[in-house]
Structure 1
Amino acid sequence: MSSLRDQAVLQAIFNPNNPFGDDFWLDAEVELTDDDSRFDSVLVEQAKDLELRGVSLAEAGNIDTALELFGRAIAIIPERASAYNNRAQALRLKGDTTGALSDLDKAVELSGGRGRTASLALVQRGLLHRLSQRDPEALQDFQQAAGLGNKFARKQVTLMNPYAALCNCMLGEMMANLRNPKASTPPSV
């Protein structure tokens, strides 16, 4: 039976594009939740219902009606981050990057940078920053989301680190050479 450290090393060898760290071997994303206990539970249920309906409508392509439902959820509990994050996704689908970024900023602010909504909002905002070629801002968002346990964000942090990418590439080549030594070319002298 192998130790957790052994498993981590094997993961690094066979998945060189993944980050390597203390919790690298964990397959499951850290279970994050949002703390809605400070809000009236009846209002939370109403807002969640509107959000779920809005998500379904957005997935079906009815973005305008989805935006309306997200707006109603925000009106019910303006201090709750989730509806802002969901509305940002719909705004992004509609092509309103500025509006989406504004809602993502609000979601991160209201969540205090903690919980599921913060993780999702940070990743989404990081992706929008990358698309706008604002890599320092993107990296900061991905690092914060990675700190919350978001596996996608961890991969993005690694991909944005040129040194880690180079090391991963060299490790991948080395492993390929070990698997198939006849295919590798000897170094020229």
Structure 2
Amino acid sequence: MASANDRAVLQAIFNPSTPFGDVPGLHQEEVPDDDSCFDPELLKQVKELEKQGVCAAESGDLTSALQLFSQAIHILPQRGSAYNNRAQALRLQGDAAGALLDLDQALALTGSTGRTSCQALVQRGLLHRLQSRDDEARADFEKAAALGSEFARQQVVALNPYAAMCNKMLSEADLDAL
């Protein structure tokens, strides 16, 4: 993990118009989703289905996971979290197109705030990256980084062509000669 000084140096290199050491969004925390608009009993039921779905996916039972996430969506179709979770299961099953549709729906429902938005942006960025659509991936990672994702920040740096060039030069340098 990079130190505060390392991040400040990178900030100065890649964003010379900002003050040295000013790393936008560095100390932001992920904002929890606002579920206050949903019926508490239905929300409790949906969260339990999602929890079961995550457990099923983690144990390798993607078919059950997809069924559980779909049940949660059926109960509360205006809540983005189950779409985000189902997208993960679809991606693990190799259905990138289906995953992208669910991620787009999760983002449409959650807007640009909250934990679900952040996670959906990271997932969508990864899918774009796997499909060699780096500009779209970078845009999603930048939005997720602004929402507090450290992983997304790292991806933004990795997708920066100048950072890639510097890393290549450093890996080829004879550090013993320095």
Q: Which residue of 2 aligns with 1:80?
A: 79
Equivalences for 1:75-154 in 2 at 5 Å?
A: 75-154=74-153
1:102, 1:11 → 2: CA distance?
Answer: 35
The verdict on how the C-alpha distance between 1:144 and 1:151 changes in structure 2, with shifts beyond 3 A counting, is same
Q: Which residue of 1 aligns with 2:5?
A: 9
1:142, 1:32 → 2: CA distance?
Answer: 16
TM-align CA RMSD: 2.8
The verdict on how the C-alpha distance between 1:12 and 1:171 changes in structure 2, with shifts beyond 3 A counting, is farther
Q: Which residue of 2 aligns with 1:16?
A: none
Q: Which residue of 2 aligns with 1:64?
A: 63
Quick check: 2:25–2:146 contact (8 Å CA) kept in 1? no
Quick check: 1:11–1:25 contact (8 Å CA) kept in 2? no
Instruction: Identify unmatched segments of 5+ residues in structure 2.
Output: 10-14, 16-20
Residue 5 of structure 2 aligns with an amino acid whose one-letter code is: V
Kindly state the Cα deviation for residue 22 of structure 1 after the two structures are TM-superposed: 2.6
Which protein, 1 or 2, shows the higher relative CO under an 8 Å CA cutoff with sep ≥ 6?
1
Identity of aligned residues (%): 54
What secondary structure, in the 3-state scheme, does the structure 2 residue paired with 1:22 have? Answer: coil
Q: Which residue of 2 aligns with 1:184?
A: 177
Kindly state the Cα deviation for residue 168 of structure 1 after the two structures are TM-superposed: 6.3
Cα deviation per residue 1:123-152 (whole Å; 9 max; x = unaligned)? Answer: 000000011111111111001101111100
Kindly state the Cα deviation for residue 169 of structure 1 after the two structures are TM-superposed: 6.8
Cα deviation per residue 1:146-167 (whole Å; 9 max; x = unaligned)? Answer: 1111100000001101123445
Q: Which stretch shows the higher mean deviation, 114-123 or 155-164?
A: 155-164
> What's the TM-score once normalised by structure 2's chain length?
0.82
The verdict on how the C-alpha distance between 1:138 and 1:11 changes in structure 2, with shifts beyond 3 A counting, is closer
Kindly state the Cα deviation for residue 184 of structure 1 after the two structures are TM-superposed: 2.2
1:21, 1:169 → 2: CA distance?
Answer: 26
Q: Please identify the structure whose Cα radius of gyration is greater.
A: 1
The verdict on how the C-alpha distance between 1:25 and 1:170 changes in structure 2, with shifts beyond 3 A counting, is farther
Kindly state the Cα deviation for residue 116 of structure 1 after the two structures are TM-superposed: 0.3
Runs of 4+ in structure 1 displaced over 3 angstroms? 10-13, 23-26, 164-174
Instruction: Identify unmatched segments of 5+ residues in structure 1.
Output: 1-6, 14-18, 178-182
- State the number of aligned residues: 167
Residue 77 of structure 1 aligns with an amino acid whose one-letter code is: L
Residue 84 of structure 1 aligns with an amino acid whose one-letter code is: Y
Residue 58 of structure 1 aligns with an amino acid whose one-letter code is: A
Quick check: 1:88–1:100 contact (8 Å CA) kept in 2? yes
Q: Which residue of 1 aligns with 2:23?
A: 22
> What's the TM-score once normalised by structure 1's chain length?
0.78
Kindly state the Cα deviation for residue 82 of structure 1 after the two structures are TM-superposed: 0.2
